[in-house]
Structure 1
Amino acid sequence: MKIALIGCGEVGHCYARAWTAAGHAIVGIGELRQDSEMTARAQAVGAGLHAEPGSWLAQADVVVSAVYGYNAGEVARHAFPHLRAGAVYADFTTASAADMQAAAAAAAPWPVSFTDVAIMGAIALLAEKTPLLCAGDGSQAVAALGESAGAPVRIIDGKPGDAVRLKLLRSVMTKGMESLAVECMVAAERMGLRASLYEVLADIDRTPLTAFMDSFVRSHVLHAPRRLAEVREARDQLHEAGLEPLVLNGVEQLFNRTTQGIHAARAGGQAEAPDSVEARLAWLTTLARQP
């Protein structure tokens, strides 16, 4: 496969080497930096170095953008006129979902396929084997390219922008869990209870994560008032241990919001949301909407 690369920083350089090793051809590299380091990187993969998008892009089956997210849309719009008919433009940047959608819309008048590619991890840790998530018309070609370098690739049934949305939703979960783990483990260590904490959390290991999340959503609507009291007791315990909770303060705010919503609904004579994930998420969304 012939690949043109726009951006040869950490991400671009990683994939340039990996795809070359996998037998693909890097037909050109676009990079604002035209210094000796970038020249050496281009020469190492047998590619020409270019300061801006141009006719050199027409040689490629797949054009990969690995620039900074804030600049991704502008780079894409300048590149589209130079792509050959049937080529795939794969945006590997950290652009927002809105920017991905705008770039896909800008690609629509051209005979090319636009693909939103979310890198689901740290390139510094897993390099070219970092999992990828793809959305858009060119996903099959991008998946083949990623898999040829050893990356696990998942194609979602969605439009450009959905891959980066899922990446950030995953971050809500994983970064939230990370923060709670840090706050909880620091407290457990302070109290000399870390080993015992592992034991009392063991039941969680027996439930698949998605089922665990669904059960929280369903029961939260029923038990938020009682659980709010428990959250406050937990916060007081951290204070007694000489610790300042940060994550738990946010947890308290969320449980308090739901509790107020439950009380308001009951006072208004509203029926309880049906016992399903969909119905209870719909009700919780009414509380979470920004004013």
Structure 2
Amino acid sequence: MTTQRVGIVGYGEVGRIFAAGLKNAGVGWVGVWDLKFDDPRQRGELHSVAAAQGVHVCASTAELCAQATLVISAVTASSTLAVAFEAAADIQPEAFFLDLNSASPGTKQQAAELVDAAGGRYVEAGVMTSVPPHGLRVPMLLGGAHASELAEQLLAWGMDVKVASERIGVASATKMCRSVMIKGLEALVLESYATARHYGVEDAMIAMLQETFPGIDWQQQGSYFFSRVAQHGQRRAQEMREAAQTVREAGFEPVMASAIADKHDWMAGKARAGAFVDLPDKPDWRAYADRMHVLDKPNT
């Protein structure tokens, strides 16, 4: 089936990037829907962005599914099942459903059951690195019985996809295990760097890291990690709770994954409280660290 009508549920950072990329790739119709469209405080800006991209703003998930031959779910991890449930009610027969969300294998399997039972064709995707530097060409692993067929269309649009397995859960397990490492490194850098900054030993500490791992620019990497977690800490925390569920589904206690989620959530709380609002463009990691309370004071 030729897929030329694409609906994207979720118009955040990833949704916007994919919408623009698909239009540039020549997709004839791209529609978007996001819960924020119902918020008068955010609706105007989002509609303006959609108009500039030349994408159609849908009034609901139902309207989007009624028109799309490919539905892309690009929401937060905690909304993975909710979107699959809503889409299943209105998805066209034989339409593809591409699930980009960072969810556990078990969650993806439940979502697949909902979509497939409704006559759609569910394909899971494991997005293997941060989307912004790569855009539509972000490396992705696909999974499911319909992954190979959809991959042909996605490759024709210039996307970087590989089929991991015909079984749902393989691509997401790969993604989640990677996330434990990458998001864990982010959490470690936040805690280590901010603590070093407090004691005035950051230069010596980073010099030791540079000597041990010379292939990484630890100053630049630190600034990137601080900025990404400050901006997307809540989303990353939700992803790590799904990573913890992935560990749990494997029969292990997710001690590390749960702690990583807590650290990202903590950083997100600082951002919501306005700790970083007036920082300059592309600040050094020290600017973030100077705004953080590394050790929470106990209640007295």
Is the alpha carbon distance of 1:110 and 1:43 closer, same or farther for their aligned partners in structure 2, counting shifts above 3 Å? Answer: same
Is the alpha carbon distance of 1:198 and 1:30 closer, same or farther for their aligned partners in structure 2, counting shifts above 3 Å? Answer: closer
1:24 aligns with 2:27: yes
Q: TM-score when scaled to structure 1? A: 0.58
Q: Secondary structure at the match of 1:117?
A: strand
For residues 8 and 207 of structure 2, the distance between their equivalents in structure 1, rounded to whole angstroms, comes to 53
RMSD over equivalenced CA pairs, Å: 3.4
Aligned to 1:9: 12
Is the alpha carbon distance of 1:193 and 1:103 closer, same or farther for their aligned partners in structure 2, counting shifts above 3 Å? Answer: closer
User: Which ranges of structure 2 fall in alignment gaps of 5 or more residues?
Assistant: 38-42, 193-200, 216-249, 255-300
- How far 1:120 sits from its partner (Å)? 0.6
Aligned to 1:85: 93
For residues 140 and 130 of structure 1, the distance between their equivalents in structure 2, rounded to whole angstroms, comes to 18
Counterpart mapping for 1:1-291 below 5 A: 1-34=4-37, 35-172=43-180
Is the alpha carbon distance of 1:147 and 1:197 closer, same or farther for their aligned partners in structure 2, counting shifts above 3 Å? Answer: same
- How far 1:119 sits from its partner (Å)? 0.9
State percent identity of aligned pairs. Answer: 25
Is the alpha carbon distance of 1:140 and 1:25 closer, same or farther for their aligned partners in structure 2, counting shifts above 3 Å? Answer: farther
For residues 19 and 165 of structure 1, the distance between their equivalents in structure 2, rounded to whole angstroms, comes to 27
Aligned to 2:296: none
Structure number with greater Rg is: 1
Q: TM-score when scaled to structure 2? A: 0.57
- How far 1:84 sits from its partner (Å)? 1.5
Q: Secondary structure at the match of 1:86?
A: coil
- In 2, are the aligned partners of 1:26 and 1:47 still within 8 Å (CA)? yes
Q: Secondary structure at the match of 2:31?
A: strand
Letter in 1 for 2:18: Y
C-alpha distance after superposition, 1:173-220 (max 9, x if no partner)? 55678869x99xx99x66988898679x9xxxxxxxxxxxxxxxxxxx
C-alpha distance after superposition, 1:119-173 (max 9, x if no partner)? 1101122222210111113323442454345332110124223211111223445
Count of residue correspondences: 202
